[in-house]
Amino acid sequence: MLPGGSPPEELVLESLQRLADKRAISLTLSDERLAMLLCVLRSGRERKTRNQQVRATFGVTGRAEWASAAAIERDLQQQELLKSLFH
């Protein structure tokens, strides 16, 4: 990574978004999905860290917000291309 450049997680997301936009890969990434995917990439496989990322990114304060964030994460987990990030 070059000094002053984007963090690697963001570069990965930009690449995935470009490939998805060109339909080179079968993946649909809305703004919410991109935000959740960034939380996943930044936290690695650490659930506690991921929850902190999700809370900060989505402004989660109650059950409804957690349910919404969990639904987005489950949706991403179903994407064949992304399954290895969750397991």
Is there a domain that residue 2 lies in? no
At 44-83, the pLDDT tens digits run 878 899 999 999 999 999 999 999 999 999 999 999 888 8
Is there a domain that residue 3 lies in? no
What is the Cα–Cα distance from 76 to 36, expressed in whole angstroms?
8
Is there a domain that residue 82 lies in? yes
pLDDT of 8 > 90? The answer is no
What is the Cα–Cα distance from 22 to 20, expressed in whole angstroms?
5
pLDDT of 4 > 80? The answer is no
Is there a domain that residue 68 lies in? yes
The answer to whether the Cα torsion of 35, 74, 86, 25 is positive or negative is negative
Please give the tally of structural domains in the chain. 1
Host domain of residue 80 = 8-86
Global pTM value? 0.81
Is there a domain that residue 77 lies in? yes
C-alpha 39: how far from chain center: 5
What is the Cα–Cα distance from 78 to 71, expressed in whole angstroms?
11
C-alpha 57: how far from chain center: 11
pLDDT score recorded for residue 19: 92
Is there a domain that residue 80 lies in? yes
Is there a domain that residue 14 lies in? yes
